[in-house]
Each structure stands twice: as C-alpha cells, then as structure tokens.
Chains A and B, each alone.
Chain A
Amino acid sequence: MSATKIYYNLKGDRSIWLIVMLLSLFSLLIVYSTSGSQVYKYNTSHGTEYYLIRQLLFIGTGLLLTYTAYRLHYMVYAKLAPILMIIAVPLLIYTAFFGTELNDASRWIRIPFLDLSFQTSDFARIALILFIARSLAMKQEYIKSFKEAFVPLILPVAGICALIAPSNLSTSLLLFVTAFTMIFIGRISLKYVFLLLVLGILIFAAIYYGGQYFPEHFRAEVWAKRIHEFWYSDGQYQIVQSKIAVAEGGWFGLGPGNSIQRNLLPYAYADFIYAIICEEYGFFGGMVILGLYLWLLIRTVGLVTRCSKTFGAMLALGLTLNIVITAFANIAVSVQLVPATGLTLPMISMGGTSFLFTCISLGIILSVSRYVEQAYEEKKQLENLEANAESNH
C-alpha cells in the first residue's frame, strides 16, 4: 500500500488529520532543539541525534497507532470499555504500591523487554472516558434512580480519580473535570451531576489533607509547597525561567533552535516545552499551537452535532476535551496561571507512553469522524434518491 493510496483511502475529518501532522512536526522541531541540554544533563555517550531519532520513532509508532485506532469501527470501543476498566484498576493499584519512582512520584511501571516506563494513569484515562461514553449511551434518556446513576457513572469516576490522585494529583483532577463535563453534557439529571461534584470535592479534599498524615504515600508536601509558591512568591526557579523564556520570544521569537532558556529550564522537553515554543517561535508560534488545539475542539464539536449515536458523540467529545484541557493546563503552568504540575503538552512533549496514548485517542476520534461522514453521505444519498424518486413520480 503506497503512501498516496493511503492518502486517498484516508477518510475521516481531513482537518483533524492535518492537526495531527502539524502537531507532530512541531514536536520534532522542539524536542530536537531541547535535546542538547538533555545530552549534557544525563551525560550520555550518544549525541543529540539520538533524541531526534528517538522522537522520530515515537512519532512513527504513534501515527501507526492512530491509523490502527482509526481503522477500527468506533462501536468496537464500546465493547472494549468494560474490559479496559477491569484491567485499569489492578494496574493502578499495582503502580501505587510497586511502581517505579521517577522524579519522586510513583506513577510508572516498567514494561519488561522494552526500555520504557509506562504511566498507568494514561491508560486508565482512556479506559474511563470510553466507559463513561458507553454508560451515557446505554442509559439513554433520563437516568432516574440513584442506582442507575451511581454504579455505571459516579462510582467509576470517583474510583479511578481516587486511585490516580495520590501519586499524580493533576492528571486525576483533569480526568475528573473531563468526566464531569461529559456527564454534565450527557443528559443526566442535574441532581446527580451535583452529587458527583460534591463527591469529587470531598475525595480531593480528603486526599490533600489526609496526605499530610501519610507523607510517604502521598505527595502532600510537594502539593502544599507548590501551591504556597504559586500564591506567595514569584514562583520557583523553573517557573521564573519559564516566564523568562516566554518574555524572550517577543512577537516572532528567536528562531528555530535558538533558545537560550532550554539550558536553564529543567524539563524543557516535557513540562515546559510551551515556554520554549514561545521563545523560539514567538507570540505567533505560541498562538498557532494554541489555535491547533482549539481547532481540534471546534472540529469535534461540529462532529458531535452531526453524530446520531450518543456513544460516538460522547467518545469524541470526551477524548478531545481531555487533550485540550491537558494542553491548556500545561500552557497555564508555563505562564504561571496555575501552580506547577507535571503535565505534558499532548502530542508535542518528548515521547513517552503519554504521547502514544494521545495518538490512540486521536485515532478513536478520527474513527468516529469517519463513520459520521459515512452516515452523513448515506443520508444525503438517501435524500437524493428520495428526491429523485419524488421527481420521477
């Protein structure tokens, strides 16, 4: 199958495909630009090309995953959702107790044979969104009793978020916001929406304050420190460096590969990559990235209005919301609108499992768009046929 053939056979929303490509391209440029400081920091024997090739491989694998996820009919994911949930829960528990500690948080498990750390919360994130979309579709029309709302919706959201929160509060919060928004939009009685909100606030409050009594299992000290720094100072070292990077960019930036702050900013290739984008590509570059995420959201919203199936609509919306909210949160950290967290910029930050899972998410969204288009065209054809039949009549 040649590339052109793939292109002509490529259905689904062309704009979303383009967004995926553009984000991948930006990712390659920025990651390569910041790789010099990594080579220095880790004192590795391989040169900066190593990081370029590594990122290229990640993008290649990611696009392959996107394509695979896109090829599957999205209703397959409805069947997969409960299985994924059943896998996700023990994985999260395993990670919490036996996970590898990287950067002082137990969020990863090692994948045997491959030299990769696997952040289980990324997996759980997709599983939960799939599951909620499925539940919302199945409990069509009004969910009337508490039992109907509690078991398929409120319990999974609260459970997964509570499992992720101790080691990775920010991911858990964003996932909660995503799930909450899905349920809010998903034709559920306001009573239960508020129940979920109250429950969510209680859980996060319990983990935040409870963590101060079990500092070895929770990162309460880190949270408290970061929130304190956010409110009462100009930010810790990396935030100041990040803001300097943004300020250095000006309108048009210093140009690709000319960043200075990459040498001073820790995690310039992951958590603070947006600051480097602003520095190298200026205000316009930063706006293009922000615009790409917004464009993705607008395309999905268009999709959702045309989608006849609740599952597809909810699935696409949930996955997109999660990507966009994560991106916004990452950007907000870079410019000190919220306290520092360990979030990556989806599709742009240096490869890792979160990059691959974002690719899968986009593949699923594209799968939905493919069938929405197909259904739309069939409907059009049907209308044409009817119109023809009527005129012939």
Chain B
Amino acid sequence: MKGLANRRFSVYYFIILTSVVLIARVAYLQLVSLKYKEQAQRVILERQLDYPSRGLIFDRNGKTLVYNKPIYVIYATYRKIDPKMDTTLFCNLLGIDKSTFIHNLNKDWSNPQFHKSLPFVFLSKVNPDQFAVFKEHMYKFPGFTAVERNIRGYPHHHGGHVLGYLGEVDQAIIDKSDGVYIPGDYIGKTGLEIAYEKELSGIKGIHYILRDNLGRRIGPYENGKLDSMAIPGEDIKISIDLDLQAYADSLMMNKKGGLVAIEPSTGEILAMVSAPTYDPNLLILDENRNVGMTKLLRDTINRPLNNRAVTNRFPPGSIIKPIISLIALQKGVTWINRPMNCFGGFRLSATKKMGCHGHAPIHNVAEAIQHSCNTYYLQITKDFLDQYGSKYPGIGLDTLVSYFHDFGLGSKLGMDFSYEGQGFIPDSKYYDRVYKREKSGWKSMWVLSIGIGQGEMQLTTVQMANLAATIANRGYYITPHFIKQYISGKHIPDQYTQKHKMRIDSKYFSPVIDGMEAVVLAGTARIAYVPGLDICGKTGTSQNPHGDDHSVFFGFAPKNNPKIAVAVFIENAGWGGDWAAPISSLLIEKYLNKSISPTRKYLEEKMMKGLLNVTSEKIVPHSAQKQDSVQLTQ
C-alpha cells in the first residue's frame, strides 16, 4: 500500500505548491510591483463620444429641406471652478438667474453618477449667438467647458408633418438599443426623422481617455487601439417638391384635413399636408422648444400634431364609386353599357329610400360616375353581394373585400413613414359579429352603404391618393414612398420600385376614366376644370354623424400619361365640389403649369382664405343623426 500512500501525498504536495504560487503572486502584485499602484493613480477611464452629424434631407430638385445647426452644451467640473469667480457676469452672459446657477452646479455628490472631478452637464441648449458672447469671456471661468451639438434647422416653413421632429430618446429605447443610444441623445420622433432614423443618425465615435485621480488627462487608453471615428449619417433626397409642398400648405390653410399628391408612374409622394399644419421651425430642439411643443399640444380642438394624411381615417364617400365599377365589371356583375333609370332614389324597404340627385337616366358606367348615381351603385353592389345567392352575401362581400385589399385598402400600404394608418374595410366576419342576434344572418340590403363609400368603410388620405394613382396607371400602383435617392448611391429598397398589379382587365379602365373626365367637364366638379389639363376625378361628400359632411376629391391629370394623382379630404366642409375639388385642381395646375392662370386667381384666393376649421364641432341633435338613409351622397 506504500505506493498508494505516495499518490495521496503527491496530491497534497501539489496543492501546497499551488498555494505557495498563489501567495507569491498576490505578494508580488500587492507588495512588490509598482506597476498597478501607478495605474491606480489613473484609474479613471473616460469614454468620450464624438457625435456624428445627422444626415441632411433634400427635396426632389435638390433644395435643402433639413440641415444641421450648432447648439452648445456647457459642462462644469466642480473642483476646477474658481470660488471667487464673477457669478453676476457669468449669469448675465448665459442669460440665467442665480437660483438656476446654484441649482445646476450643486449636484447630489453621493450619487455615483456625479463626481466633483469630472465634468457634468451644467447647461444645455445655449444658442450660437449667446455662446459667441460667452466664449469671449470663457477664460475668466475655469472649470467650464463647452461642447457643440447639432440640432435641426429648416430654411423654409413647410412640411412639418412630412419631415417630423427630433426629441430626447426614451429610456425604453435606450434599454433596447444595446448601447447605441445614451440618455440625452436625440432621436427621430415622427415623420421621416423616425422612418429614416437608422440611416440619418450615423454612428458615434468613441475615444477612451485615461485620466489620473485628479481628473487630469494622461493620454489615450491602449494607444487608441479601441477608439473609433464618428461616421456621419446618410444624406437623403426625398420625393417632396418643396414649391408644391409650400403651395399645398397654403391651400390647406385654415382647414382641417389631409392632402396627398403622388406621381403615379413612380409612387413618389410629391406633397403631403395634414391641416392644420405647423412650421417645423417651431419644434427645433433649441431653448424655445417647450414653448412650441406646448402650443401645439394645447390645441386640443384642431390637434395639429395628428397626421390626417397618413394616420387618421375617414369615410371615402362617393370616390369609391369608380373602384366599385372596376371590380363589378371585372366580376361580370355589371356591364359597360348597362342602363338604369334612377327614379330619384333607391328603395331600401317599403318606407326607406336612399336619395339621389336629379339627373337624366343612366346609359352606361361613365354616366353613372359622371352623375354619381346612388341608385346605380346600390344596385350593382347588391348584385355583387348576392352573386352567389341572396342567402350568402358574406361570400360576395369577401370577394369584394379581397379586391379592396388589392387596391391597398384595409391594411398599411407599407410606406417609409411613421404611424401609418390601416383604414378599415368591413368583411363578412365583421357583419357576422354586428348582426349576431339575427338568426337567419344579415342581408345584402343592410350593408349596401359600402357601395357608396359610407357606413363602416374608412380610408386614409394617402390610400385615397393611391387609388387615384392606380386608376391613372390603368391597373397598378407602386407603394407610395418618400425616398428618392441616397446621396451615397445606395439603392432604394425594392419594395418602392415593384408594381402591385390589380386583377382587373385594362379594358375596363377607359370607360371609368371617361366617366371621371366627365365629372370635371360636365359633372359635379366643373369648378375643377382647367383648360388643356384633362383632369379626371371624382368628388365625394362623406357623411359625418358628428357634424357637417366632409368634402372629398380624388383625381389625376393629364388623362393620358398622367403626371400627378391627388386626394384631398377636408373635414366638415360640405360638398366635395365646394372645397376638395377646387383645391385639387389648383394643386394640379400649379404642378403641371407652374402657375395659376389669371382667370382662376379668384378661386385660389377663395381657397386660401376659406376659414373653415377654427370653430368647434357642431353639436347635432340626436334625431338628426338618426336620419341616415335619406341623405344624399354626391
């Protein structure tokens, strides 16, 4: 057994040897070597961030929409401040009072966030003019340093909703960002600033700097091996035409509503207004930011921060009629030359009648669109829903809904924009739920209002404009988008060049477009007629149970080879022909002719002056809301 005892002892010896090595190493580090004692003198490793400049934004013609301008952050290092400094001069130069000075300087020193030897933010958002004066005197105030940060600037006053604004990043985003954002960073909050945050923001540079225990700078850490340069954000060119945007802003003055103009062949958005709009300069992150933000947030009647062009949804009214025509023609439910006598309305039941306008009998689909004949559309909608038998309106409805989905309705279009709305398209499941008490199920007669764009159906303004673009293209659309070009040459995503084709034969488009042309030539939108521009369009008056009807128009021009498609939605403005149609025609005229003809100047003036929104919503008597089936839609 002697050999086995030896084994045991060899283990003990090994352990004793190990502990001797450990003790020797600890003793060497702790008692002999000076290397780490010296390092202990400069334990402070400072991580200095270089902020990249944020990407610039240009309009489609290369005009600057958004640039960067400097603002200054003043840092203080408590221990370096001269206790005898001239505080009165200091406060006057920076425009602060004594209490702010005392409050900003005396931090909670028990909090490890702050250290008397390390700089902390004393004052943020000092504007360049003030800083220039302060800088001259800065030598008198040791312990104070300044760092330049960039905020956004705008050389114009337009497109607030399109461009969006910046704000300080939220804690939730910081936690999720894996170190990309730190508290106090600026991040896009709305509009293109948030949609292109990743591209615009760039990448921060990092410098590690060693400081000694008194906060003195020793040099870069590990000779700068770990340091990195800031990579500036990417500059982008967007599809907005600044001149057109400015003109659209002025047309939409004093109104509530949305306006979207698209170039049909590319899907590029030329102008987008959510009215009432705001000047982007109001929300610049300078010392006046709070004033501007409060002003916009306080306006709870007009809610100027809502995006009525992209997010909010509205009933489309009669502008859905051309789309219904196309789908019904394709499914063979109706035919191009189907005649119909209106008799002044469509009989829903023995006592209820959906009214129509006084017009001549209809001979074909073009005339139905021209006169916006309710009877015609209620009839073909009924035919459509009952095409699989009147017991199964659900199957007919879902067929219709599947075509609506093709047109980009009822779901997000997939724009490169924040907070895009979906709109709402009711399907058979929806009505099953609404009418679940009815034992024999619901009937097509109960939901016919879909055919004239009323009832539950709701669209966003951009979806309406996209419908106009789809008709202008005779059967396809490209997802509406803002990105036109990355200045770096990077390709724009494929989704903004792909065509979404409709399942509708191209031969059905010409009668519908003829009808839309007739609307402007001899129908409900004669006021939108501009000689030589061949505007095609359709008005809508969408009923609103809370107040006056909404005025809607969508259209495109010229008829052949269209250059612009427009949708305009004005809340509580009455008939489509009163406001939305003339505004659209002025926008089209401005874009195609670059100027407004003298004969139409009166119209331009009237539209710009039109005071519509500023009053609160009308309170409608309860009984008036009930009379839903006898109103007109145009």
Contacts and interface: CB of A to CB of B under 8 A. Distances in A.
Most buried by A among B4, B18, B27, B40: B40
Interface in B90-104: none
Given A244-B36, A250-B30, A331-B22, A187 B112 contact: no
A301 interface: yes
Interface stretch (A95-103, A204-212, A282-290): A282-290
Contacts of A282: 30
Interface string B428-471: 00000000000000000000000000000000000000000000
B81 interface: no
A246 B30 contact: yes
Contacts of B40: 244, 247-248
A246 B37 contact: no
B343 interface: no
A261 B44 CA distance: 10
B7 A40 contact: no
A184 B14 CA distance: 13
A276 interface: no
Interface in A133-190: 181, 184-185, 187
Interface in A22-67: 36-37, 40
| Interface range, A side | 35 or more
A184 B15 CA distance: 14
B350 interface: no
B22 A328 contact: yes
Most buried by A among B30, B37, B40, B45: B30
A260 interface: yes
B29 A247 contact: yes
Contacts of B112: 36-37, 40, 263
Nearest to B113: A40
Interface string B23-54: 10111011101011101100101000000000
B15 A241 contact: no
A251 interface: yes
A246 B22 CA distance: 13
A246 B39 CA distance: 12
Contacts of B30: 246-247, 249-251, 278, 282-283, 286
A328 B45 CA distance: 30
A149 to B, nearest CB: 16
A286 B15 contact: no
A359 interface: no
Contacts, number: 80
Interface string A228-247: 00000000010011011011
Contacts of A248: 36-37, 40
B33 A247 contact: yes
Contacts of B36: 240, 243-244, 246-248
Most buried by B among A181, A278, A282: A181
A381 to B, nearest CB: 28
Nearest to B226: A237
A290 B12 contact: no
B23 A287 contact: yes
A375 interface: no
B29 A261 contact: no
Interface in A277-301: 278, 282-283, 286-287, 290, 294, 297, 301
B19 A246 contact: no
Contacts of B180: none
B29 A243 contact: yes
A185 B8 CA distance: 5
B19 A301 contact: no
A246 B26 CA distance: 7
B405 to A, nearest CB: 39
A15 to B, nearest CB: 18
A328 B18 contact: yes
A250 B27 CA distance: 9
A311 to B, nearest CB: 16
A328 B26 contact: no
A263 B45 CA distance: 12
A324 interface: yes
B22 A240 contact: no
B614 interface: no
B31 A251 contact: yes
A87 interface: no
A337 B43 contact: no
Given A185-B11, A247-B36, A335 B18 contact: no
Contacts of A250: 30-31
A195 interface: no
Nearest to B3: A190
A244 B26 contact: no
A331 B43 contact: no
B43 A278 contact: no
B632 interface: no
B11 A246 contact: no
B12 A335 contact: no
B25 A335 contact: yes
B611 interface: no
Contacts of A241: 43
Contact of A184 (B7, B25, B33): B7
A287 B26 CA distance: 9
A251 B35 CA distance: 16
Interface in A253-268: 260-261, 263-264
Contact of B21 (A37, A243, A286, A337): A337
A283 B45 CA distance: 26
Nearest to B36: A247
A297 B30 CA distance: 25
Contacts of A37: 112
Nearest to B208: A237
Nearest to B112: A40
B186 to A, nearest CB: 22
Given A247-B29, A247-B37, A290-B23, A264 B15 contact: no
A331 B26 contact: yes
A258 to B, nearest CB: 14
Given A240-B39, A241-B43, A283-B31, A335 B22 contact: yes
A104 B12 CA distance: 36
Interface in B537-586: none
A332 interface: yes
10 contacts: A40-B112, A185-B8, A185-B11, A237-B45, A260-B43, A290-B22, A294-B19, A301-B12, A335-B22, A335-B26
Interface of A: 36-37, 40, 181, 184-185, 187, 237, 240-241, 243-244, 246-251, 260-261, 263-264, 278, 282-283, 286-287, 290, 294, 297, 301, 324, 328, 331-332, 335, 337
Given A246-B30, A290-B19, 6 more contacts: A184-B11, A237-B45, A246-B36, A261-B43, A263-B112, A287-B23
